[in-house]
Structure 1
Amino acid sequence: MTTESLYDAELAVALTAIRAAAKISRAVLDSSNKGALLKADLTPVTVADYAVQAVLTDTLHSAFPLDGLVGEESSGDLHSNPALVDHVLSLIKECDDGSAKQAPSTPESLCSLIDLCSASTPTGPDSGRAWIFDPIDGTATFLRGEQYAINVALLIDGQQILSAVACPLLSPTVTPTAPLTNTTLSRTGCILTAIRGHGTFLHPLLPTSSSPPPILLPRHCDAVPLSSLRSVTSYNTLPSGLDPLHAQITRSLGAAFPDNDLLGWIPRWTALALGQANMTVWIYRSRTRHAKIWDHAGAMLLFEEVGGMVTDVDGRPIDLSRGRLLEGNFGFVAAPRGVHHLVLRAVRETLRKEGRGDLLG
């Protein structure tokens, strides 16, 4: 970072942790055995998810032992799968270069680390400091060798303070004229970070002595006309969303659809921060559906620090103080601050026009 901040020490630890995590994910990516299985909710999980969560937990907890931890995975499937436990422990040992603490060496210590961040708290408005992370966002695409991300965020009293996102297969140099998709790949990779009020920075994924210093990204969303909107979405892959409505809203604003098309939410927030896109709309099929905190916490800050604004479909700020699910919000509307109200109006008018007033709060 080129601007001093009260949270530079936290950022340094987050970068150490996320680079160790990226190294683990790449080792699994290059392996023929990814240790994949289905969780109870029928979503996939791999040996990388467990190993990365253990290393992130260990590194952050060792540096900040009083901070809370919230992560996606729990150790339930590990207890009944000794072979998977051995695979995770071997992977952590294989990738340990001494840069992160990476202490788990027994099944018991591994499961304890995983479960340190599997509780539903602490993210309340008076909860103090909590680290939120998603070890592999986009596990389905990860299994195919496509775009995925690793997310680390620091919340204080439920407010985003720090973000570190690693995209091990995303080029640090975007090509705005070409859509970014799950199969737009680069082994160069990159990391994006933000500290509230200090901008969003682009870092090399695995720096060397000749690597350039972090680059402060321009505030490309400060003055964007409605005619210059570009969307990022996840098209025809997630049953939770309403693709026809997303398409209708986006096209009503004069933007192409689907344009940039990425499965994981963290890669989508990253595309918005990089300027590859500047708008996304997501409407769930039911008001009972809520987003998961690790898919959005911190990564939204990357977009806000380049001039973006994020609310839900009802125009409310995203509330990260409810625990593991964003139960105070429904869907997402993200756009440059100056035109966000127009995008939000298009969302709500389309829902009324299409007879989906049941989705309006």
Structure 2
Amino acid sequence: MAYEKELKVAQLAVVRAAILTKAVFHEKAKGTVSKDDKSPVTIGDFGAQALIIAAIKHNFPSDEVVGEEEASSLREQKDLSSTIWNLVKDVKLDDPESDALLGGPIKSEAEMLDAIDMGNSAGGDKGRIWALDPIDGTKGFLRGGQYAVCLALIVDGDVKVGVLGCPNLPVDDRELLTEGIGAAATDAEGKGVLFAAVQGQGATSQPLTRGAVTPGHPIHVSQISDVSEAVMCESVEPGHSSKGDNALIAQKLGISRKPVQMDSQAKYGSVARGAGDLYLRLPVRKDYVEKIWDHAAGDLIVREAGGQVTDITGSRLNFGLGRTLTENKGVVAAPANVHPQVLQAVREVLDAK
């Protein structure tokens, strides 16, 4: 199978990172600092990035990584760095063989900081580049909602492998989304999903555990034919998507039920397995540019599950232009059979503005 090792390493790296994020999720104090763009970052973000990049570099040393975080603030805040190191050094999988594949534990705090800073690739359309969001949906993570650990391999600008670890989603692929799923979330028994896809090989899900990964269960987008019955997913944060436009599009499509709001690429995973039907992320301002780590894994997983993912013009998302989706505006994800209908409604609403 093409990319068999890459898939296994990606899955296990996400699992190992999720062990750390789950530990932080249950702490009241999450060591939050603010980045230059005012977005929050936690000790979980830093620790998860270090663990995943260390695993990638152990197995594929010449591969590049586009990661969301960098360690300059930690080099200045020694106490915060030590707190993260105390989390990172103790993380291991329950399966020793899988743990060994990832290179075993990180050996020192300095090595941890260096690993975080290896996420500094400029991206592009040449070579092998991993797009990593160690905690997608940090605000959801902070408020006890949905979040995801996201990793994708991009080869010559094309996404080949995608993995999402969603600790607070139900394991059961048949469990439909509820209105409150994005709020008071839990990773208790029966929660935690690992989604994965390889280009041309379909998409799968399996329980997110601490041990070895399995081939997973094939997943597919919903077989909805009447789009008026669709369950729409949208971001919780109003700064991420225009909810007013979403409401007008829903009205145009005859959708009467309220949208399900949740943070992170858990929305992509939910659409991929048919728990939700549509995911709209519409531009809130003209100068907003999406980051590749926010979409690469989810984009592939939905498409491999039989869905269609485009921007608001109907163009595929282009992950080969650097760290951002500079050519694309917004995201429309839906089962392939209703995607044209949804896209038409999106265009009609946005063109009328």
Instruction: Verify same fold: TM over 0.5.
Output: yes
Match for 1:192: what amino acid? F
Deviation at 1:151, TM superposition (A): 0.4
Tell whether the 8 Å contact from 2:145 to 2:263 is kept in structure 1 after alignment: no
* Deviation (angstroms), 1:8: 1.3
Contact 2:235 2:281 in 1 (8 A): no
Give the Å deviation of 1:91: 0.5
- Shift of the alpha carbon at 1:283? 1.7
How far apart are 1:208 and its partner, in Å? 6.0
> Post-superposition shift, 1:240?
4.1
Q: Secondary structure at the match of 1:202?
A: strand
CA distance in 1, matches of 2:69, 2:38: 13
Tell me what 1:115 maps to: 117
**Corresponding residue number in structure 2 for 1:359:** none
Residues 146 and 278 (structure 1), Cα distance of their counterparts in 2 relative to 1, 3 Å cut: same
Q: Secondary structure at 1:95's aligned position in 2?
A: coil
- Name the structure 1 match of 2:336: 337
Structure 2 equivalent of residue 73 of structure 1 = 69
Q: Which letter does structure 2 place at the counterpart of 1:230?
A: V
**2:228 matched to which residue of 1?**
227
SS at match of 1:132: strand
Whether the 8 Å CA contact 1:230–1:256 is kept in 2: the answer is: no
Aligned to 1:250: 250
* CA deviation profile, 1:4-34 (whole Å, cap 9, x unmatched): x211111111121111101111111223432
Question: Once structures 1 and 2 are overlaid, which stretch shifts more, 275-284 or 52-61?
Answer: 275-284
In the superposition, relative to structure 1, how do residues 304 and 144 fare at CA in structure 2: closer, same or farther (>3 Å)? same
- Asked whether the equivalents of residues 240 and 281 of structure 2 are also in contact (C-alpha less than 8 Å), the reply is no
- The separation in 1 between residues aligned to 2:225 and 2:155, in whole angstroms, is 31
2:194 and 2:206 in contact (8 A); partners too: yes
Matched, 1:263 2:263: yes
| Change over 3 Å in CA distance of 1:164–1:348 after alignment to 2 | same
Distance 2:221 2:41 in 1: 36
The question of whether the paired residues in 1 share the 8 Å contact of 2:312 and 2:346 is answered with: yes
Q: Structure 1: 5+ residue runs without aligned partners? A: 357-361
Is the 2:250–2:256 contact (alpha carbons within 8 Å) kept by the matching residues of 1?
A: yes
Distance 1:293 1:177 in 2: 26
1:140 corresponds to: 139
Q: Which runs of 5+ in 2 are unaligned?
A: none
- Kept in 2, the 8 Å contact 1:182–1:263? The answer is no
* Equivalent runs, 1:281-360 vs 2, <5 Å: 281-353=280-352, 356=353
| Preserved CA contact (<8 Å) 2:221 2:277 | no
Aligned to 2:40: 44
* Counterpart residue number, 2:168: 169
Change (3 A) 1:96 1:159: same
* Aligned counterpart, 2:178: 178
TM-score by structure 1 length? 0.89
- Structure-2 change in CA distance of 1:76 and 1:208 (3 Å): closer
8 Å CA contact retained: 1:171, 1:185: no
Aligned to 1:55: 51
Report the counterpart of residue 8 of structure 2 in structure 1: 12
Report the CA distance shift for 1:102/1:138 in structure 2 as closer, same or farther (over 3 A). Answer: farther
Return the offset for 1:337.
1.4
Distance between the aligned counterparts of 1:240 and 1:208, measured in 2? 34
Query: Counterpart of 1:161 in structure 2: which amino acid?
Result: K
| One of 215, 218, 221 as aligned partner of 1:216 | 218
* In 1, Cα distance between equivalents of 2:310 and 2:30: 36
Aligned residue identity for 1:199: G
AA in 2 matched with 1:234: S
Q: Alpha-carbon deviations, 1:104-160, whole Å to 9, x = none? A: 4444322221111123x23x22x1211111000111111222211100111111111
Check 1:228–1:198 CA distance in 2 against 1; reply closer, same or farther (3 A cut): farther
> CA contact under 8 A between 1:55 and 1:101: conserved in structure 2?
no
User: 1:219, CA displacement in angstroms?
Assistant: 4.8
CA distance in 1 between counterparts of 2:285 and 2:291 reads: 15
Residue among 190, 194, 197 paired with 1:191: 194
Instruction: Compute the TM-score of the two structures, normalised by the length of structure 2.
Output: 0.91
Task: Select 1:64's aligned residue among 49, 52, 60.
Answer: 60
SS in 2 for 1:170: strand
